[in-house]
């Protein structure tokens, strides 16, 4: 259950960041916002006793989702 919570939270954050920056074409703002999310994610994951490699993998998955969702808004 803790891993599923981390996974769902990461997907939610990726979608929200892509939506929030949908009209801003500077990718550094979005990347910085996602980097800021990394610290709470790792602390929450460690608090919930999720292995670090799984937290890191989930973080990378969220980054991939963020890139593709941002491309979706850019193509419109």
Q: So what's the pLDDT on residue 22?
A: 82
- Distance in angstroms (rounded) separating the CA atoms of residues 9 and 44: 11
Global confidence as pTM: 0.83
Q: Can you list the alpha helix ranges (DSSP code H) found in 1-51?
A: 2-20, 27-47
Domain, as residue range, for 51: 2-75
| CA-to-CA dists, residue 75 to 25, 49, 61, 72, angstroms | 12, 39, 21, 5
- Distance in angstroms (rounded) separating the CA atoms of residues 35 and 76: 26
Q: Could you tell me the mean pLDDT of each successive run of 10 residues in the chain, 76 residues long?
A: 93 90 82 91 94 94 86 64
Q: So what's the pLDDT on residue 76?
A: 61
- Report the domain count for the chain: 1
Q: So what's the pLDDT on residue 29?
A: 87
Q: So what's the pLDDT on residue 31?
A: 85
Q: So what's the pLDDT on residue 66?
A: 86
């Amino acid at each position: 259950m803790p891993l599923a919570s981390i996974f769902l939270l990461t997907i939610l954050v990726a979608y929200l960041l892509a939506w929030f920056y949908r009209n801003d074409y500077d990718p550094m703002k979005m990347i910085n916002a996602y980097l800021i999310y990394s610290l709470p994610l790792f602390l929450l994951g460690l608090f919930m006793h999720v292995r670090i490699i799984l937290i890191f993998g989930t973080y990378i998955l969220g980054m991939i989702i963020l890139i593709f969702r941002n491309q979706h808004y850019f193509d419109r």
